[in-house]
Each structure stands twice: as C-alpha cells, then as structure tokens.
Structure 1
C-alpha cells in the first residue's frame, strides 16, 4: 500500500517537473514533424546535432499553422485559430507560454537560439491571407507567398545553424513552392489554387497544365546555387527540391499522386545523401 502511494507521489512530482514538461513538449514536436512534415524532419538530420532539437521545434510551429489551413472549412474559424497562435507567440516572448506543447518547446529554446518574433508572425499573416482563397495573378505573387512562409522558416533555421540567411531564405522559398506544386489536388479539395492566373474551376484544363509547366520552370530559375562549402543542411535542401522539380517536370499530370514504392525509394535516397554529407 505504501509502495503504491509512493509511486503515485513520484508520478505527480514528475509531471510537474519543468524539465520533464520540456522533454515531453520536445518529444511531441518530433512526432508532429515526423508525421506531418517528413521532408523537413529528414532535413534536420543533416544539421549539426546541437541544433536538431531546436529546428524540430521551429518546424513543429510551422506544422501547427499549416494544419489550420488544411483542417478548417470556414475562413472565420481559421482566423480565430491563427489569432490564438499570435497570442500564443506573445505569451512565449513574454516568458509565460500558454499550455501548448509547441509553445512550451519554443520557450525552452529562446535563450540559446535566435528567433525573431516578427518573422514568425509573418508566417501566420501569410497563411491567414491564403485563407481568403483568392487566386494568384502572377508568379511574383506565388513567390512572395513562398518567401513569407517557407522562406522565413528556413531563414530562421539558417540563424540556428549559423549559415547564410539569404541562402536560407531562397532555399526555403523554393522548398515551399515545390510543396505547393505537389499539393495541387489537396488544395483543390480545400477550395484553393496556387497556380498563377488559374481559377479553381480551371485546374483540370489544358491551360492549367501549361501554367503548371511554366511555373515549374520559373521555380527552377529561382533555385540558388550551392557552393562546395555550404552547410550540409543547405545541400540536402537543394538536393530535395532539385530531385522533386525533375520528377514533377517528367509527369504529364499536374496532380501529384506518387506510388508508395517511389516515396520509399525517395526517402532512402535522401537518407543516403545525408549519410554521405556527414
């Protein structure tokens, strides 16, 4: 009986221990990124070991924001949820994070890694604008969206691993744009279209295919050059987007419906590249 009481008291104590709470929050972030953003999860493995946990936390924040767009059916509800995250960020930078695993994890890395509050807010603002489901008129608008989302994310990542911020911004932008080109079917079901000058009801038209191919070529033109002394993080990002752009260009359809064996093979190729860069 006394043993059971002792174990119960230990359990309560461990649950309230700040160290255990932070560890639990970080583990939550790992699972979130691994399940919902597997490419960025793999990319963290190419980063210095002392930065990997922090990168996972940053990417977990991005997953939470992107999931709002993918799960809400009403614009108003999406805005409410995004506003909650804005206020959640404020609580983190004020030193008293709300009781959410990602916010707790963000607070735990603030002292060691440079995180710009306004940059994270811009990611939220860009996704809020996407809630409006207004069509893009030009590639410039598409690029701007990618820059404000994935570009900002990798710019912050560059600060973590102490590499070129501009290169991080450019690589992150291309990374985000390639993801959008791979998710056209999913976005169509959510009532959004990121193809410039294409309306939602035109996605399956010949015009859309032409714009899709043109957009892929424009993305390729914007891909920055990687020098031999670039970080392994930058090199693996470059390899992934280059591989995906080649693959997408070879497909006849604009809808990305990859086979399971190819997804597995692609994952193995990425892992081998990371191993070779170590």
Structure 2
C-alpha cells in the first residue's frame, strides 16, 4: 500500500473521503480523534480503512436477519475484490480505498476482516475459550492495524509483531467494554469455559447480574488483554515514530483496562458505562502520547 492521498482524484474523491471521515467521527469517535491528527500523506488512507471497518462492523447491528446479513457481507467481499479492478463498486468507502495502491496482500487483510465479522454475526454462540476470542480480535483489529501501518509504508517484523499484539489487546478490551450493550441484544463474548468454571450462566450476563464469579471471568480476559498490551508496549522503542502514531488505539484500551481494575472487574458498574474515563482525560492522554511518541 502506498502513501497516496485519497482525494487527489477530484471532487468525487474528496466527497468519498468526506464520507469516510464522517463515518469514523460518528461511529468510532475515539479513533477519529487521533486519526485526524495524522500527517496528510497517510490521514486519508487511515480514514478509508477505518470507515471500511465501521461499515462491516455495523452489519450485525443494523441487519437482524441472518440471510440478509450474509448478502451484505458477500457484497462487501465482492466490493473489496473490485478495488483492484478498473471498475470498483460505486460506494464512497470503496472509492476511497481505490485511491490507495492496494495489492493482493492488502486485499487479504481486508477480506479477513469481512470473514471474521461475518463468522461472528452468523454464530451467536459465545466463544468457547479465550483463545477463540483472541482469534476474533486478531482477525479484526490486528488486520486493521496491519493495514494502517502499510498505509504509511511502514513494514517490518517488529511493526507486525506490535500490531498483532496490540490488535488483540484492543479487540479484547473493546469486547469487554461492550458487554452491557451486547447483553441487551442477548450476545455474550465472555468465554464459555471460564464462565462454566465460575458458575456464571449466559442468563446471568443477559440480566446484567454482577457476581464475584463474573468478576473473576472478566479479570481473566482482562489479564490476557493486558498481557498483549504490555507486549506491544515493550516493542515501542524498536518502532519508528511514524509507526508509533498508528498504535494510538492502545490509549483507549489502556485507560479502559485500568478503569476495569479500579472497579474490581465489576463489568456492570455504572462507573464503566462510558469506559470509565472522561472524554477530556482521554483527549489529554492521547495528546500526551502523540507528543511524546509513545502508547
């Protein structure tokens, strides 16, 4: 993937980029806040990629019937393939992606995101183990981070290693953070083996019933997320500053995991309703990390 700027193709390209920015701002605001501060050479590509992730992730939220979900996922799968042709599918996100020099390896990462989201949407059964949860995070958040780094022409084993670990940390933290929201839709992402060992039923989770057993399940998942986050942070000194800028999703994950620990892993406490941290504190922490080139 090159460092090309989405929008150089004229008014339609600018309109496509504007659409992507609005999608990320509306549905992924915390990541919007750091993406908008990136250098112009990579900002547009990152917004195109993040908008793609938003569009695919929202299918399960906006479409209730499995058959219709499959149709939507298949549409996006074909749309990704069209990016590499002379006639990409007419959609602002696809148009924005077509302004980036995508190759077959990049298409693979995009398709993995679609496949992981589709598998999750069509398989409402909770993950059997934490490893399954990690695989889902790897198939979504890690792939997105790989693509972001390639958008800035950043490649190398240390970068890939950091992105892999950070993607898992970010994905696990996001799933924990969304537990109450998922419960309202009778979805659960807490591993069944851990829940069974602690005597926690799915109905307990759907009812938002806090217990010491549930807190211990959450603690175990959070510990895995924290371990991945720390492994990604350990690689920080080996990354160029441009790659560190792509790792800013670590800020949200770190703040949430700290808040979760502060509240004894009671995932249903009202104090964690908005992540356990204020928007102002998030922005201050984000600014600090971006200025100090850390995460």
TM-score, L = length of structure 1: 0.85
Q: What whole-Å deviation, never above 9, does each CA across 1:80-116 have from its counterpart, x for those lacking one? A: 11111111112212231111110111101126x8861
Aligned to 1:5: none
| Cα shift at 1:200 | 3.2
2: distance between equivalents of 1:46 and 1:151? 21
Aligned to 2:174: 179
Structure 1 runs not aligned, ≥5 long: 1-16
- Comparing 171-180 with 196-205, which one deviates more in the overlay? 196-205
2:190–2:217 Cα contact (<8 Å) kept: yes
Q: What whole-Å deviation, never above 9, does each CA across 1:27-72 have from its counterpart, x for those lacking one? A: 1101111111122223325644311110110010000011112222
For the pair shown, the structure with the greater C-alpha radius of gyration is 1
Aligned to 2:291: 275
Aligned to 1:7: none
- Return the match for 2:183 from 163, 188, 195: 188
Instruction: Report matched runs for 1:237-248 at 5 Å.
Output: 237-248=249-260
Pair 1:227-2:222 in alignment:
no
Aligned to 1:201: 203
Instruction: Report matched runs for 1:110-129 at 5 Å.
Output: 110=101, 116-129=106-119
| Cα shift at 1:240 | 3.4
TM-score, L = length of structure 2: 0.80
Aligned to 2:165: 170
Aligned to 1:249: 261
Aligned to 1:49: 40
| Cα shift at 1:193 | 0.8
Which is richer in helix? 1
RMSD between superposed Cα atoms in Å: 2.5
| Cα shift at 1:137 | 1.2
- Return the match for 1:217 from 223, 236, 245: 223
Structure 2 runs not aligned, ≥5 long: 1-7, 196-200
1: distance between equivalents of 2:38 and 2:129? 34
Does the residue aligned with 1:93 lie in a helix, a strand or coil?
Answer: coil
Change (3 A) 1:114 1:272: farther
Aligned to 1:95: 86
1:114–1:160 Cα contact (<8 Å) kept: no
Aligned to 1:236: 248
Between Structure 1 and Structure 2, how many residues are aligned? 261
